[in-house]
Copies of this chain bind each other. A is one copy, B any other.
Amino acid sequence: MDDHGQVKGGDETRERVLLAAQKLFAERGFESVSLRNITTEALANVAAVNYHFGSKDGLIDEVIGHHMIPVMKERMRLLDEAENKYRIGLVPVEVILDAFMRPFLTVIQDGGEGRDLFCRFMGRCMSERGDRMPDEVMRSAQRVMKRITVMLSDVLPDVESEVLVWRLHFCFGAMAHTLIHEAGLKVLSKGQSGDPDFETTLQRMIDYCKGGLSAGGSVLTDRSGGQGEFLF
């Protein structure tokens, strides 16, 4: 599963286009990147996109699925791991959040720039493509979210379920925004000794989201269901 050593020599072009698309989408968003931008970056012909992916939307779906599905699987795996470890009691909030966010760092094996682009791409997916994702991604995202919502409402019984859904939504916003603009932020908060690395940022985000999720809020309006229905 290492993406080299094709059988029929041919479609390495496909991979180059996929990679270039991911990079440009991450940097400038889905709408702002043209097929010519992509194929130029990939040293390929414009027609290659429509040949391999049918359309620009087909390409977008492919790129999203290619990166999103492993993330969802890894989330599920980490949630399994957590529930195994804490079989006796409840899984702590920070562990659930970690299972949700860490895959951004671990699914991509490349460190440095590759991971940077990957994170920004994930942020773009969440904020620009939260709806209209490919079906398979939609389904697995649905499963993950349902599970996380249940686990969270177990450890946070004092938080009303509708409030919890909103707070989870706030977490998404914080995440998406950070993933997209982290590179820019790191430049701004230039400590002399070094920028915070991914692990530090992840930890800060988990701390923040944990605090927000379990805040001693007071707003109780009407109660209703609706858990695990939004996905990104």
Q: Cβ of B210 and Cβ of A215 under 8 Å apart?
A: yes
Q: Cβ of A224 and Cβ of B165 under 8 Å apart?
A: no
Q: Cβ of A130 and Cβ of B222 under 8 Å apart?
A: no
Chain B residues near A194 (CB, 8 Å)? 222
Question: Assuming A162-B191, A212-B209, is B221 touching A200 (CB within 8 A)?
Answer: yes
Q: Cβ of B192 and Cβ of A224 under 8 Å apart?
A: yes
**With an 8 A cutoff between CB atoms, is A53 at the interface?**
no
Kindly report which residue of chain B lies nearest to residue A210, judged by CB atoms. B215
Chain B residues near A171 (CB, 8 Å)? 174
Q: Cβ of A230 and Cβ of B29 under 8 Å apart?
A: no
Chain B residues near A203 (CB, 8 Å)? 219
Q: Cβ of B166 and Cβ of A174 under 8 Å apart?
A: no
**With an 8 A cutoff between CB atoms, is A56 at the interface?**
no
Q: What is the interface size of chain A, counting residues whose CB is below 8 A from a CB of the partner?
A: 58
Chain B residues near A6 (CB, 8 Å)? none
Q: Main secondary structure on chain A at its contact with chain B?
A: helix
The quantity of this chain's copies bound in the complex is 2
Q: Which of B201, B215, B219, B221 contacts A166 (CB 8 A)?
A: B201
Q: Cβ of B224 and Cβ of A215 under 8 Å apart?
A: no
CA separation between A31 and B28, bound complex, in Å? 11
A residues 155-176 near B (Cβ < 8 Å) are: 162-163, 165-167, 169-176
Q: How far is the CB of A218 from chain B (nearest CB, A)?
A: 7
CA separation between A174 and B211, bound complex, in Å? 13
B-binding segment of A83-91, A114-122, A136-144, A180-188: A180-188
**With an 8 A cutoff between CB atoms, is A205 at the interface?**
yes
Q: Cβ of A218 and Cβ of B211 under 8 Å apart?
A: no
**With an 8 A cutoff between CB atoms, is A229 at the interface?**
yes
CA separation between A203 and B207, bound complex, in Å? 21
- 8 A-B pairs besides A174-B174, A200-B221 with CB distance below 8 A are A127-B177, A165-B189, A170-B205, A189-B224, A191-B221, A191-B224, A193-B224, A209-B212
Can you list 19 A-B pairs, Cβ within 8 angstroms, ordered by A?
A31-B32, A163-B204, A166-B208, A167-B208, A169-B178, A170-B174, A170-B177, A170-B205, A176-B177, A177-B177, A188-B226, A189-B229, A191-B221, A200-B221, A204-B219, A207-B217, A208-B215, A211-B216, A212-B212
